[in-house]
Amino acid sequence: MLQVFRLAPLCQDFPGEEADYKRHYLLARTGEIRVSCSNVREILYNYINAYVDGELSEPDRAAIEKHFEVCAYCANERFQIDQMKNTLQSEFAYSSPYRLKDVIKNKLTESLESKVIHNKSEFSWKWLNYVVPPVVTALATILLIIALLPHFQNKDSMEIEIVSAHVRSLMEDNLTHLDTSDAQTVKPWFTSKVDFVANAKDLSNKGFRLIGARLDYVNRQNAASIVYQTQDHIINLFIFPTKEKDMLNSKTMHNRGYNIIKWTKHGLEYCVISDLTLAKLSEFANLYRKQS
């Protein structure tokens, strides 16, 4: 749950000089992980966006609403995002011509009646030759109209879940349930918690330090999260079962300031996410896959 926005230094009304900002930390159970003001601002901005889109859980929604009551800056951010959303919906919303439904219905009825009446004196199946073509044409026209209607494209729900789980782990002081730098201890720790094998890899000599593991929930099922750190950046590697076929080439995505790389292998889906550059995150993903 969102803990009353411990990362309040990003707010404009947070007391203290600019130098004070640098002394605030995002605390992981393995120690202190420094986060810049821009990182903190980005995290809360993501939550405000999720709030406006109705994507937050009830506890998170209640916490952010309490925060809005005491923080004019964040409340204004929410107002601006709300206004932008309403403007986009009003500008690009499509309203069909008045009585379009009645017009289409009448055209279909007239077409059917004209062809049936033309051949009603003949007890023959030949009337179908006259009825079917105009009906098919009318249906094709309707489908074309529907296809051309402007609409908002729905985001990949899996993508949203991965981003939410990553941000939640950073904001709840709940980054790891197992604190370890020993890759050999991760697999047995997950044995009693998930029904698949979740392996950690020792990539410390490549600049990616293992700091622990966490049990999470993604795609309506338990998921293993193996946590790495490089400099000030946290990397979450989510592993969970999938029915998709093996995907040898990884797929890259970008959502709310985070890069995501995913691939599937032997019935498991791997999703790695961080605010690292795509090139650096790809380096991590390739190193992990080579050792798998």
Q: Please indicate, yes or no, if residue 48 is contained in any of the structural domains.
A: yes
Question: Other CB atoms closer than 10 Å to residue 156's CB: what's the count?
Answer: 12
- Pair 104, 62 in one domain: no
Q: What's the gap between Cα 83 and its chain centre?
A: 22
Instruction: List, for residues 231-265, the tens digit of each pLDDT value.
Output: 999 999 999 999 888 887 788 888 888 999 999 99
Question: Can you give the pLDDT at residue 269?
Answer: 94
In order of 90, 234, 272, the CA distances from 264 in angstroms are 40, 22, 12
Question: Can you give the pLDDT at residue 129?
Answer: 65
- Pair 118, 206 in one domain: no
- Pair 142, 202 in one domain: no
Q: Please indicate, yes or no, if residue 40 is contained in any of the structural domains.
A: yes
Q: Are 3 and 60 in contact (CB under 8 A)?
A: no
Q: Please indicate, yes or no, if residue 228 is contained in any of the structural domains.
A: yes
Q: Please indicate, yes or no, if residue 31 is contained in any of the structural domains.
A: yes
pLDDT over 80 (residue 289): yes
- Pair 179, 210 in one domain: yes
- The band of 125, judged by pLDDT with boundaries at 50, 70 and 90, is low
Among 92, 108, 125, residue at a domain's last position: 92
Q: Please indicate, yes or no, if residue 37 is contained in any of the structural domains.
A: yes
- Pair 126, 32 in one domain: no
- Pair 206, 265 in one domain: yes
Q: Please indicate, yes or no, if residue 2 is contained in any of the structural domains.
A: no
Q: Are 158 and 223 in contact (CB under 8 A)?
A: no
Residue 46's domain is classified under what CATH number? Answer: 1.10.10
- Pair 234, 261 in one domain: yes
Instruction: List, for residues 36-59, the tens digit of each pLDDT value.
Output: 444 445 556 676 777 777 777 787
Q: Please indicate, yes or no, if residue 1 is contained in any of the structural domains.
A: no
Among 92, 110, 132, residue at a domain's last position: 92
- The band of 113, judged by pLDDT with boundaries at 50, 70 and 90, is low
- As a whole number of Å, the end-to-end CA separation of the chain is 33
- Pair 119, 88 in one domain: no
pLDDT over 80 (residue 169): yes
Question: Can you give the pLDDT at residue 23?
Answer: 36
- Pair 138, 59 in one domain: no
Instruction: List, for residues 217-228, the tens digit of each pLDDT value.
Output: 988 899 999 999
Of 160, 154, 5, the C-alpha closest to 78 is: 5
- Pair 196, 248 in one domain: yes
Q: Which of 68-72, 199-203, 256-260, 261-265 has the lowest mean pLDDT?
A: 68-72
Of 246, 240, 253, 257, the C-alpha closest to 282 is: 253
| Structural domain boundaries enclosing 83 | 8-92
Question: Strand order in 268-274's β-sheet?
Answer: 178-179, 209-218, 221-230, 233-241, 268-274, 258-265, 247-255
Q: What's the gap between Cα 18 and its chain centre?
A: 33
- Pair 254, 195 in one domain: yes
Indicate the number of domains in the chain.
3
Residue 231's domain is classified under what CATH number? Answer: 3.30.200.100
- Pair 62, 42 in one domain: yes
Among 92, 109, 127, residue at a domain's last position: 92
Q: Are 236 and 272 in contact (CB under 8 A)?
A: yes
